[in-house]
Structure 1
Amino acid sequence: MASNSYEKPDFWSQKAFSEGYPARSVYKLKEIDEKFHILKKSSTVLDLGAAPGSWTVFLLRNLSAEGKVVSCDLNPLSKDVKGDNLVFIQGDLTDNAVRESIKNEGPFDLVVCDAAPKTTGNRIVDTARSQGLVKMAIYYAQTMLKKGGCFAVKVFQNGDQQGLLKMMREIFVTAKGFKPVACRAESFETYLIGIDKKNDI
């Protein structure tokens, strides 16, 4: 019987651990940034669904002292994820108090979201839940990103990806899908990228 590739650390997982990142997902953000140049050294960045913290660590390592990362998740970040220019807000992203706390740390130059729903194994249910998370992330981008800001969000494929991109094209000059090489071959996740927000907040 073939072993499940999720059981053993693959190349990307081993590379992540050796470089001090909590998870392999960091290379997806690295690849997105290399292709779309969404991160500037002095950016104020909002990292939604941040735990365990790989994207937060990548952002902190690539920002200057003037930059700042605001990370939010229901779960705490890994204990070794820390920095003078890191603000962590633990809570539900749909909660008004959490939303206000995040808003008070902005406005932002970049919003990223690698959040995934708790999966059920039912692809239709999981895709629908993913769509809900993406719409919530788009709301944050729409209401908290500065003019000219950028956005990257994970989405499960086979949902209404074109509908989501249509929403994003109302907000950004450019919106497109992108699947990083670091995504597992069997994974049905991809990313939506928004470049150059049209209007200020």
Structure 2
Amino acid sequence: MSVNSYEKPDFWSKKAFSEGYPARSVYKLKEINEKYNLFTKNAHVLDLGSAPGSWSVFILRTLGETGKLVSADLKPLAKNVKGNNLVFFQGDLYDESLRERIRLQGPYDAVVCDAAPPTTGNRLIDTSRSADLVDLAFDYAKTMLKAGGNFAVKIFQGSDTRALTANMKDLFEVSRSFKPAACRSESFETYLIGMQKKDGCI
């Protein structure tokens, strides 16, 4: 697979641009939310690894004028990602001071994460780095989600998937693995879904 195969706009990319989203990834969250009802109006949502902001735009459109979105990434959001109920933090998700600022905006009804590591083409390295990001997002969910809250995180399928799935089962009443239709057919990414955080799990 050439690098250019990801750069060439496909159906989902063209649809995203025509509907005002910065990237095609929005349709993955849209399908996940339609299937699992992660959040609705009035929800308080945390979007990790949010740049350029397609997931944040979708969440804001779903929340309308109600609810609140806290979004965080190393990179800035696209200029058109705006909302009166949006709080954006630019910084390293591993940084403790950033974590504390995000925590103070919570607790949250839903935590979502579409973050992915820079890929090397070496599947072993890429899946390991992805698993590290999943662990990080899982820790945010564990410490900042309300009881009964929901979680979705992207993962590159590999040797760590089983252990991460077991962690999900410990924290949530319901856990699932789900690959949206908008994922590229050649991609080995999928999503782990956690529903109804168990009371007392911190």
TM-score, length basis structure 1: 0.97
**Is the Cα contact below 8 Å between 1:131 and 1:159 reproduced in 2?**
no
**2:198 pairs with 1:198:** yes
What is the percent sequence identity of the aligned residues?
64
Deviation by residue 1:55-107 (Cα, 9 ceiling, x = unmatched): 00000000042311100000000011010000000000110100000001000
**2:76 pairs with 1:76:** yes
2:153 alignment counterpart: 153
2:33 alignment counterpart: 33
AA in 1 matched with 2:192: L
1:119 alignment counterpart: 119
1:134-153 map, 5 Å: 134-153=134-153
Distance 1:148 1:98 in 2: 25
Distance 1:21 1:109 in 2: 23
**Is the Cα contact below 8 Å between 1:107 and 1:146 reproduced in 2?**
yes
Distance 1:113 1:2 in 2: 26
**Secondary structure class of the residue paired with 2:109:** strand
Deviation by residue 1:31-71 (Cα, 9 ceiling, x = unmatched): 00011111121110000000000000000000042311100
**CA gap 1:57/1:3 in 2 versus in 1, 3 angstroms:** closer
Distance 2:46 2:2 in 1: 40
**2:20 pairs with 1:5:** no
2:184 alignment counterpart: 184
**2:168 pairs with 1:168:** yes
**CA gap 1:180/1:45 in 2 versus in 1, 3 angstroms:** same
Deviation by residue 1:84-134 (Cα, 9 ceiling, x = unmatched): 000000000110100000001000000000000011111100100000000
User: RMSD of aligned C-alpha atoms?
Assistant: 1.5
In the alignment of these two chains, the number of paired residues is: 201
Residue 2 (structure 1) shift = 8.6
Distance 1:68 1:85 in 2: 5
Residue 3 (structure 1) shift = 9.2
2:101 alignment counterpart: 101
Distance 1:40 1:61 in 2: 10
AA in 1 matched with 2:121: G
Distance 1:172 1:38 in 2: 13
AA in 2 matched with 1:89: F
Distance 1:2 1:49 in 2: 25
- Give runs of ≥4 in structure 1 deviating > 4 Å: 1-4
**Secondary structure class of the residue paired with 2:94:** coil
Flag structure 1 segments of 5+ consecutive residues without an equivalent: none
Task: Indicate the larger mover: 44-53 or 160-169.
Answer: 160-169
1:18 alignment counterpart: 18
Residue 180 (structure 1) shift = 0.3
AA in 2 matched with 1:122: N
